[in-house]
Structures are given as structure tokens and as C-alpha cells.
Structure 1
């Protein structure tokens, strides 16, 4: 059994340091990428406040395919360049969107989502997945959130 003491009201630097440590403990030595994505989705859901979706899209044959997640049922396939996830995958660059309704080509899997953070997971220079976080709050994510999830993506790059 895993029991992590991560206070969601802690300063973000401490929150993400603790989250990274817990993610390392959960995924270290586990070779199954799907299991690792499932546990990380649960960890994100449990400890990051004000989310309505947390999970992964995996790169499969030049498109994103739904991976393990927490939240409402979601879009299964996303073409590269479409929506926030597709933009993150095509550009291999973090996308932090304060108002998803103002994002050109936004894909509304959940009408309650107002802001989104999508971080590509790179293996070498290739995007192998994206970590997708949605919130019902506008401008939920800031630069500290982006840096924290980018550190998580680096940790996971050879574990998923």
C-alpha cells in the first residue's frame, strides 16, 4: 500500500517536490507503462486541487490516443495539431491555456473545462505522450504548475 503525505494547500514548490517524489516511488522499477500512467493519473487527481480531468494521451501512429485518466469520459483520438493536446504534441511544447474557449480549435470533451495545461512527454526528441490537466476554473494553471508537470514528464519519459 502506498500512503503519501502531500498537502494540496502547501506552497506549489513543496507540492510539486512531494508529487515528484511520490511519482518516483510509484513508477521506479515498474516496467509497465500503462500501470505507471494509471497510478500517476490517480496521484495527480488526488493531490492537485481544482481539476476536473487528469491523465494521458499516448502517441500512436501519428495521433494521440486516450490513455489512463481520472475524470469524465473523454475524446479517444486527437489528431496532431488539433486542440490543446494536439498542439502540445505537434510543437513538443507545453501549452498553458487560461481560457480554453478562446483557444482556436479547442476540443470540448468536457464542457465544464475552462483552463488547461498540457505537457508533452519526450523520449529523446520524440513526443511519446502528453499529460493533460483540465480545470473548471479559468486561469487555474500558472508557470509553477507548468514547471512542476514538466519535471514529472521528464521523470516519466523512460517509464511509460
Structure 2
């Protein structure tokens, strides 16, 4: 179900994306709503799937996973059942952080994290073994991190 977002909803989404630990009272103060009205909106946004999850953002280097890899992957055949199998495999691998089904020379672009190149190589060897529909992949090793995030701009310029 897709929610129709008003200016209060968009403002709430902007706030909780920046700090998911704020109370409904603190959010309400910022948007001009009561704690109960803010709580109702937060519950609806979660129930409607607009807020997909509330998570902690972990510093990968501090957690021992400092290496990122950007992977362009091609498949042999784009049959729905084969793509679904590959997507399930990606979803089951914590090291695969993001998966994009894309246009262009690659079929998928992945963001992968690993403690080192050997761990990455082992993951990709397992992917090839488990998914014979993968034709090939190319890897870019991230040398420096300029920006990392999942923030979705939802507020308009006038807000």
C-alpha cells in the first residue's frame, strides 16, 4: 500500500532518517504536532512500509570490515526464476549490502563489504558455484569513502 504523504509526514521522515532514536514527543516538537499525533503517524508510516526499518549505522572500519567492493555482474539468461534465485542468494548474504538491477552492460551492481580481499574472493567463488547463471563479474575496490548513506530526500524545497 502506498501512503499519500503530507508535509507533516515528510518532515517526520526527514527527522527520523537523521536520528531514529528520537521520541515521538521530540519529533512532534520539531514538526508542530502533539506526541500522540506524531506516534499515530509513525505507526502508519511503518505499517504502510514507508519506514521499512529502524537500524543502527555501524562504522565498517571500527567493526573490522573496512574494505568495500563495487561489483558489476552479468547473467547468462534473464529468466524470472533464475533472477529470483540469484536475488534470494544476494538477500541471504550479509556481506552483500546493496543490490541494484540495472540497465547497461551489467545486469546487477552490488555493494559488498569484507574484511579483506581473501574473504571477498571466497564469497564470490561461492556465488559462482551456487549460481551457474552468472556469466561474469568485474570488481572495483573502493580506495576511499566519500559518502555512504541511505537517506531519501522527501521534503520539498518550500518546506
TM-score using structure 2 length: 0.26
Higher relative contact order (CA 8 A, sep 6+): 2
Answer 1 or 2: which has greater strand percent. Answer: 1
Larger radius of gyration: 2
